[in-house]
Structure formats: C-alpha cells, structure tokens
Amino acid sequence: MSRVTTIFRRRSKMIVVVAVFVFLGVGGVFGAFLTYRRHTAPAQLTWKKPASSERDNARDPRSLRDKARESRKYLALESPPDLSEFNSLADLARRADAVVVAKAVKNACKLSPNEKTVTIDYEMHVEHSYRGKFGSSGTIYVSLPGGLANFSEGASAEIRTPWFRKMTNGNTYLLFLNGRGNSPFKPTGGPRGLFSIPTDATTRKVTSHSLMENDPMQTYSEMDVVAFLRTVKRVVKETK
C-alpha cells in the first residue's frame, strides 16, 4: 500500500510540474502577443497640445526681424499642426515619399523666406533606405521646426517647439519623409515621423520624437530596435 501511495505522489508531482510549464509557456506566448499588438496597433489615437504661458508666434503676423527689433530677445512658441491623420506607422508610410535610416552629421538654424519662423536644417547621411533612391553620396537634408535667428545689433528671435524632440549630431534615426527636388525633406506627420535608433550597446530601445501627451507614436518607444525595424519594413512593403 505504501508503494502505491509513493507512486501516486510522484505522478502527482510530475503532473503539477508539467502543468506549471504549460501555464508559463502559454502565458509567455500570450504576453508576447499582447506586446506585439501594443507595438503594431496602437489604440491611443488622441493627443493634447502642451499648455504654456509663453506667447504664440502665429498670433503676431509681423516678421521675426520686426519682433526682434522691438523686444531685442524675442521668444515664442510654435504650435503643432493637425496630425490627426498620422496615428500609426501605416498612416505615415502611406503618405511618405521616403523612409530611411540616416545619421545626423551637422545642422544650422535657418530663417524662413517670409521671415515668419525658423527651422533647424540637418545634413544627414542615409545608411539604409526602405523607400526612395538617393545619390552616391547618400546625403540628404531634413528640416525641423524651431530654432534661433540672430539679427543685427544683438537682436534675436527664438522659436520653441516643446512638442518636437530635436535630433543630435552623430546619432542615427528612422525617418518617414516628404519632399522632392533640392528643398530639404520634412518628417511626415511632424514628430510622429521621427524615431531615434540605438547603434551602441547602451540600449536597444527605440524612442519617438513626439513629446505630445498621449501621442500614439509613443506606443513604439521602448520597443526593441530589431523588432521595430522589421515592423517598419513590413509596413512600407504593404503600403507601396
């Protein structure tokens, strides 16, 4: 009788162990599925403009030169455009003329032709293209909103865009871009079309350049870079 009891106990323990492994396996698969859905189908489709007490540049139609002449150190915000049509990577890919991985080489602030705003124009080297063909040099120029313009006699005008994280020289980025000809490209969907791509051992996580609250592109932040680039490749292929 004791022998039968011992065998029964051993079999029970084996059943419990097997059940635990099955449960963990299913849980792992389910968790991976949820992670995949979270990164490929963001559900958060709304955002709110950041509140600020600083002046809005668009409310004053004068040129930045005139504003700087009056206040010497003119400082104002530029509000984000309507981005309601760019809520997923697929939305960006459908509208983009080019999709590339590129490194920022150098940048300079540039006053717009009508002198109403400032941009930061980056010279970038294309390291990989998912869409678009570029010359043998692989050099492109990308323009981001905001920046500093200096005028005569120490006057200046600075336009800030706290909703758009800027690029850093020497770093690599995934960009959805619009533009043709000799003019600089602009990110499709503003900050939603720009992501930091890690290239060293410190991190493997992607970072969205949108700083707007509840922005759907932040869903992709903290995603593993390999998985993210595979998703981009698939989305670009599906939207040709």
| Whole-number Å distance between alpha carbons of 161 and 57 | 11
| Whole-number Å distance between alpha carbons of 55 and 190 | 21
Q: Tens digits of per-residue pLDDT, 144-192?
A: 999 999 998 899 999 999 999 999 999 999 999 999 867 899 999 999 9
Mean pLDDT of the chain: 82
In a domain, 194, yes or no: yes
In a domain, 29, yes or no: no
Q: What is the pLDDT of residue 137?
A: 83
Angle ∠(58,116,50) on CA atoms, nearest 5: 35
In a domain, 60, yes or no: yes
Q: What is the pLDDT of residue 180?
A: 81
| Whole-number Å distance between alpha carbons of 117 and 148 | 9
Tokens of 200: 């060293």
In a domain, 165, yes or no: yes
When pLDDT is cut at 50, 70 and 90, the band that residue 202 belongs to is confident
In a domain, 24, yes or no: no
191 conformational bin, left if phi > 0, alpha if psi -120 to 50, beta if neither: alpha
Q: Which amino acid is at 74?
A: Y
pTM of the model: 0.78
Q: What is the pLDDT of residue 201?
A: 77
* % of the chain exceeding 90 in pLDDT: 64
How many domains is the chain built from?
1
The SS3 call for residue 123 is strand
Can you give the residue range of the structural domain that contains 78? 41-238
In a domain, 68, yes or no: yes
CATH number of the domain enclosing 149: 2.40.50.120
Q: Tens digits of per-residue pLDDT, 30-63?
A: 343 333 344 444 444 444 555 555 688 988 999 9
Q: What is the pLDDT of residue 47?
A: 44
In a domain, 34, yes or no: no
In a domain, 5, yes or no: no
